């Protein structure tokens, strides 16, 4: 997992905090679907409602694709939150767009991949958020099975879990992100979205999210 740049990582984190796409509640943790307790909740779909932030994210993701995956012939969004981001990037670049469902549609053509399937086409996968990487890499596998050549993945934000790093490494998939948890923390403290007292708890969660404040 790599960052586009430290400067962009800080700028993206600040914008996501400003629009409350990233919310921090170390004293009143969120509960994820996995059952993990978490001091952070990240919903980058909110960025779509803020034109300036939406445009900034789009421009920086386009930079990531052009600089790191110059041979890209198409963009593949991961359902659901990666769909609008991917469509914006494909439109800006003037290349085809497809998206990948979490599971095949239960009727009609029963597609898992929506859009024109062109075997051998080189695509970049777009995600809004990467946690463990499980659902993201499932989409990559579906694309490969359908005959696409996956050049890599670009995402807005990642928690930077070691498990995710290992999962992407084992899958042989390059992941480029605009921002991550480590870049976000200084912005949260500096802009008063979290206190200095919260910092230790936030850092502890990042090291061991599966056991943090477990009951």
**Binding site: which residues?**
101, 105, 107, 127-135
> CB neighbours (10 Å) of residue 39?
22
Q: Which residue has the tokens 């990467």?
A: 130
**Which residues are part of a known binding site for orotate?**
131
Please give the annotated binding residues for 5-phospho-alpha-D-ribose 1-diphosphate, written as ranges: 101, 105, 107, 127-135
Place of tokens 């948890």: 181
Report helix, strand or coil for 198. Answer: helix
Secondary structure of residue 176 in the 3-state scheme: strand
End-to-end CA distance of the chain: 31
| Token pair listed for 28 | 């009143």
Q: Minimal CA–CA distance to 25: which of 157, 189, 202, 197?
A: 202
SS3 59: helix
Q: Check: CB of residue 183 under 8 Å from CB of residue 10.
A: yes
């Amino acid at each position: 997992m790599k960052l586009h740049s430290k400067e962009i990582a800080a700028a993206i984190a600040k914008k996501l905090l400003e629009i409350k796409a990233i919310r921090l509640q170390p004293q009143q943790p969120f509960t994820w679907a996995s059952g993990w307790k978490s001091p952070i909740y990240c919903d980058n779909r909110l960025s779509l409602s803020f034109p300036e932030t939406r445009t900034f994210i789009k421009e920086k993701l386009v930079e990531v694709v052009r600089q790191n995956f110059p041979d890209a012939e198409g963009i593949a969004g991961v359902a659901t939150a990666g769909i609008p981001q991917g469509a914006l990037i494909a439109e800006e670049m003037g290349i085809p767009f497809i998206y990948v469902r979490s599971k095949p549609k239960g009727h009609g053509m029963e597609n898992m991949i929506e859009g024109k399937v062109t075997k051998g086409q080189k695509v970049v996968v777009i995600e809004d958020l990467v946690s463990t990487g499980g659902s993201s890499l499932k989409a990559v596998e579906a694309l490969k099975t359908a005959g696409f050549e996956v050049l890599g993945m670009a995402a807005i934000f990642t928690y930077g879990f070691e498990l995710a790093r290992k999962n992407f490494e084992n899958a042989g998939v390059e992941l480029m992100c605009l921002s991550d948890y480590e870049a976000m923390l200084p912005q949260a403290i500096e802009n008063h979205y979290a206190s200095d007292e919260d910092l230790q708890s936030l850092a502890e969660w990042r090291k061991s999210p599966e056991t943090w404040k477990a009951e």
